[in-house]
Chains A and B, each alone.
Chain A
Amino acid sequence: MHEPVKEGLEDFLRENGSPEFAAHLEVCRECRGEVERMRELALALRVLRADKEMDPPTGFYARVAARIEAQSGPSFWSVFLEPAFGRRLMYASATLVVLLGTYLISSESSEPLAVSTTAEQYLVEENPAMGANPQQDRDVVLVGLATYNE
């Protein structure tokens, strides 16, 4: 197709185009044929045009909102509302409480031993003679307490 036709085609298809365009079509058989086919094609496409603008049935927005809701992924918090997950969470929490309780009880009963062990070690270091005679050991501890200054 020749340049003047390429440039003026849209105007021609809309409102018959310029006199130059028409003059070129008069003399150019090739362009005339192609322009005619393009005009037919443009008319054929109009079969897809709705006769008039139509509104969807009432309540359309509500249905769109429901579809959006259905297509939205579940939120993070909704996991906690699932019964199966909630039950598992409850069991896991109970197990954790039992484990923590056991640990605390066992660590509480062993702690005084550790303290006494440390106190014993301290007294032995301060008084190398300790441990030989229980009576003497008691006296050493009592003297230590009586002479203790903060």
Chain B
Amino acid sequence: MAFREIVERYQAKVYSIIFGILRNRNDAEDIAQQVFAKVYFSMGNFDFRSSLLTWIYKITVNECYDYLRKKRVRKLVYESDFSEEESLLMQNSEAAMDHRPAVDTQLAQRDFVLKLLAKVSEEDRNLMLLKEVEGHSVDELARMTGMNENTIKVKLFRARQKLLKAAQRLSRLPGAAPA
């Protein structure tokens, strides 16, 4: 399959996945381009054990998390430029904002879910997203990943348990939105 065909076949899927996670069109376009550049350069690493879509999906979600991580680091670097008093002032104002009712509860919930998914392994995260966000069934996941159905069920169960534990830990932190 020519590379152009791959891009044209999966571009809407990739763009939608990214937009679903980040809710920003410019970021979605930029990350989608990077996803396909990665696909192009690492085509040799694709082992055909999973479907091409599953492999592209994995790259897409990883790129999103990479972007979120870099964004967080940039924010930390930006904050480190402030003086101690300014940082204290900012923390106080953020704490005050955390206690007011959420302007957009869906935004807060998305933020919480993203933080939650960052606490589990890449494999658990991808499986949970394929199951709950993309809506694939267990047998579809088995076919897509090349694993058997029981393995998928066990992995999903463990991933759900880890996410619940992470949710409990995150909910105890100030400013965390409940799942």
Residue positions of A touching B, CB distance < 8 A? 6-7, 9-10, 14, 34, 37-38, 40-42, 44-50, 52-57, 60-61, 63-64, 67-68, 71
Given A41-B160, A56-B29, decide whether A68 and B11 contact each other with a Cβ distance below 8 A: no
Is B8 positioned at the interface, with any CB of A under 8 Å from its CB? yes
20 further contact pairs, Cβ within 8 A, besides A10-B138, A42-B132, A49-B20? A6-B157, A7-B153, A10-B153, A37-B164, A38-B160, A44-B179, A45-B113, A45-B129, A46-B132, A47-B113, A48-B21, A48-B113, A48-B133, A53-B16, A55-B11, A60-B7, A61-B4, A64-B33, A68-B40, A68-B41
Residue positions of B touching A, CB distance < 8 A? 4, 7-8, 11-13, 15-17, 19-21, 28-29, 32-34, 36-37, 40-41, 106, 109-110, 112-114, 117, 128-129, 132-135, 137-138, 153, 156-157, 160, 163-164, 167, 179
Smallest CB separation, B155 vs chain A (Å): 11
- List of A residues within 8 angstroms of B16 by Cβ: 50, 52-54
Give the distance in Å from the alpha carbon of A1 to the alpha carbon of B13 in the complex.
36
**28 CB < 8 A contacts A-B:** A9-B156, A34-B164, A41-B163, A41-B179, A44-B109, A44-B113, A45-B132, A46-B133, A48-B133, A49-B135, A50-B17, A50-B19, A52-B16, A53-B13, A53-B16, A54-B15, A54-B16, A55-B15, A60-B15, A61-B4, A61-B7, A64-B7, A64-B36, A64-B40, A67-B34, A67-B36, A68-B37, A68-B41
